[in-house]
Structure 1
């Protein structure tokens, strides 16, 4: 029996607090983090007893150590209640859960380091970070009250007491509009640059009844993503090229300025200081994320439009570029290839709808002609074009996406895993190197067998 993990996605709800509310939020985050630091020390001291408890039992066990009640008058650490007077119980339990996670992570990493599981031979032991930049989790009814989707009432700390304050919600996403999504406990994120709620949702997509289509994606260098929608009988019903050239130019222009500034800083030799052009690299990373989100969103929209059964990608995990000399433009383009980011974002968005993602072997997807004519040759002046043995010229990425679709369809329809088996025919390439023409051949054989069986019945 396969147990599926729940799909958790997080929305950002922007807040519009007043100047007084900003001071209250800052004080709330400050006192919450201070309590977390105290709890980390307590939990680490008693980890030999607490580490064996389940998640449901560990929080009450820590409370019995630090929180004094009529039923628990004698606590081992009464100073915490004195230092954090009238601290809300649900905020305290959220802080305990965070501190337990911090200590558990440290203990696991330290045990791995002791047993020799290290990235480097001279790796230093991990340290327990009690001063982590955490944010308070809000429990419904106790820490926050939602008034529609325009206002939210949050319990905050004034410096001496805990009070309720109503703040305006200025920006939302769309996940709260889906009836099947379950809203979980949000977190109040407040610092010098941000003031919003991080709102997780447990998504329960409806059961789909897809058509016999797949959306195949070829992630390339010349074109960011080449998409083909192919039916199970090998008919290509849609083709599309996705290439946000303006954003790519913005990123490359910034990266080019780094080399210019580096040459002016150190001349022909020397070393750059740590953090050189860190702001520029940060902007480039943000541009890459923006590109990946836009491309993945368009791929998912195409899959929704045609009600596809699956989105098919090449399995490029662990792939490393071999072409291009060090420092060349080609090597830089390979370095900026967003193959993993686009694939991961697409899978996350497509899972939320209830779709399936398939990975196929990447060997010979662009090298073999989709019509079965054999190995193609790349144009010497334009590498994006491929020349078939028949003399036909075709887009190499489009040819590859159609072959990717064929392999995905065979993987979905074959009973046994055709990706792992090799062909029984001598002199023929493995079945994992299937092309679009193999779907045509398979479909014609099925049609012939069906006609023959009908004639026998008659």
Structure 2
């Protein structure tokens, strides 16, 4: 049996800094001189890439240093200018800059080979990629050499004054919680400093705790009317929790801004005409940020529910590649489908839940909402209230809740590797050919197990 090594989980926290006016000048000067060194090194690495490209990553940085950094044992180098132009430049800042330059050139060479072979060309006259030496990078800080933590209140950073390198103590004004987790390992942070931001971008290697989950799953039905309908179902088919997650305030804020775009477009174009490129770009940017916030709110609550019930997995419908068929072109329904956050919510949930040691699984989406969870057959939607489903036995039920319970059943069957009904036909009366698992299938299996 082949076992795959689990991939590393790297998450990044933002530690806000509160520098004084003098410290802001020093931090700005440090970033400025670091970028100058990076631009200088990109040219050196690109010139010598034929011999550097064949080396391993551990051999490349010393090879570049032998080209431009003179020492007591290595008096003559090919590019001695760096020691004169960047006097007393710290060795660990230099190695971080070399690592960045190697990454830039490696990326360019890969993209250029793809362009030459035609893999990345969308048109015949597509221009080749360019090597960007001025990429707006930020310095990586190595522990003990570039920064020293004094608890979690202050940090000492080695900065450039314009003529010398000194240590300055900067106050940490905001933290997240990943440094408090015992298993997490803190990696080298980046100093992010510009006109709008001043913080440390601190990556953590997260090692999920070993879990002993209970026999239940959290099923999520992502909808249009309700953002997420969550159901917790045990392996024997008992529903132990239901919840609707719908951050209406944020959705209203987004829709109000999108409505203003429609009004401004009608005033700009009138009955005809064309909108210029970048029309309402700021409004669209704000709407995207609101969507991101909605996804974080919903995914965080889903993970909280899974943690409260110690669930084995979170189950989603596999909606990859799904396209809306309902709604006329440019109609409100089509616009709502276009703004459906199904992929983002699923991805954010998986990232958060993987950090807690859980797994996310996908099941076939067909007939999850169309079949009644009690096995009574195909449901009909209420003509006046589409969110209401009417079973064949006359029972009325919330459509998204019905769908989430069927999603849970499919997830449980997938986890337990029992009768997989998703890929074979069924001849039971009252069920469609190629029928799909519903919640009632768990009840049947539980009865057979007890009998």
Is the pair's TM-score, using the shorter chain for normalization, greater than 0.5? yes
TM-score by length of 1: 0.95
Distance 1:228 1:430, change over 3 A: farther
Counterpart of 2:162 (choices 148, 159, 164) is 159
Cα distance per residue 1:173-212 (max 9 Å; x no partner): 0000001100000000011111000000000111000000
Number of the residue aligned with 2:363: 360
Task: Give the RMSD, CA atoms, in angstroms.
Answer: 1.4
Q: Does 1:260 align with 2:279?
A: no
Structure 2 residue aligned with 1:91:
93
Q: Distance in 2 between matches of 1:152 and 1:174?
A: 17
CA offsets, 1:21-46, max 9 Å, x none?
A: 11111111111111111111111111
Among 186, 191, 216, which residue is 1:188 paired with? 191
Q: Is the 8 A contact 1:406 1:435 kept in 2?
A: yes
Q: In 1, are the aligned partners of 2:115 and 2:121 still within 8 Å (CA)?
A: no
Work out the CA distance in 2 between the residues paired with 1:405 and 1:208: 20
Aligned residues between the structures: 447
Q: Helix, strand or coil for the counterpart of 2:311? A: coil
**CA 1:420 to 1:379, structure 2 compared with 1: closer, same or farther past 3 Å?**
closer
Contact 1:16/1:168 (8 A) holds in 2: yes
Aligned partner of 2:317 in structure 1 is 314
Write the distance in 1 (CA, Å) between the matches of 2:252 and 2:117.
48
**TM-score scaled by structure 2?**
0.97
1:21-73: CA deviation from partner (whole Å, max 9, x where unpaired): 11111111111111111111111111111111111111111111111112222
Please tell me whether residue 19 in structure 1 is matched to residue 30 in structure 2.
Answer: no
**Cα–Cα, structure 1 residues 19 and 189, in superposed 2: closer, same or farther, change >3 Å?**
same
CA contact (8 A) 1:361 1:419 kept: no
Structure 1: gaps spanning 5 or more residues: 449-458
- What residue in structure 2 maps to residue 456 of structure 1? none
Structure-1 residue corresponding to 2:69: 67
Q: Which residue of 1 aligns with 2:221?
A: 218
Matched, 1:371 2:374: yes
Whether the aligned pair in 2 keeps the contact of 1:216 and 1:311 (CA below 8 Å) is yes
State which of 119, 123, 128 in structure 2 corresponds to 1:125: 128
Render the CA deviation track for 1:191-238: whole Å, top value 9, x for unaligned: 111100000000011100000010000000000000000000000000
Which aligned pairs between 1:284-299 and structure 2 lie closer than 5 A?
A: 284-299=287-302
Deviation at 1:332, TM superposition (A): 1.1
Contact 2:427 2:433 in 1 (8 A): no
- Structure 2: distance between partners of 1:364 and 1:283: 36
Specify the alignment match of 2:394 in structure 1.
Answer: 391
2:105 to 103, 106, 111: 103
The alpha carbon displacement at 1:423 in A equals 3.3
In structure 2, stretches of 5+ residues that fail to align are: none
Q: Tell me whether 242-251 or 72-81 shows the greater mean CA deviation.
A: 72-81
SS of residue matched to 1:289:
helix
Asked whether the 8 Å contact 1:407–1:432 carries over to 2, the reply is no
How far apart are residue 124 of structure 1 and its match? 2.5
Kept in 2: contact 1:297–1:349 (CA 8 A)? yes
Which is further off, 317-326 or 3-12? Answer: 317-326
Q: Name 2:249's counterpart in structure 1.
A: 246
Q: CA deviation at 1:170?
A: 0.3
Q: How has the CA–CA distance of structure 1 residues 195 and 390 changed in structure 2, closer, same or farther, with 3 Å as cutoff? A: same
Aligned twin of 2:440: 437
Following the alignment from structure 1 to structure 2, what is the Cα–Cα distance between the partners of residues 59 and 432? Answer: 59
* 3-state SS of paired residue (1:8): strand
User: What's the CA shift string for 1:129-160, capped at 9, x where partnerless?
Assistant: 11101110000000000000000000011111
- Report the secondary structure of 2:98's partner residue: helix
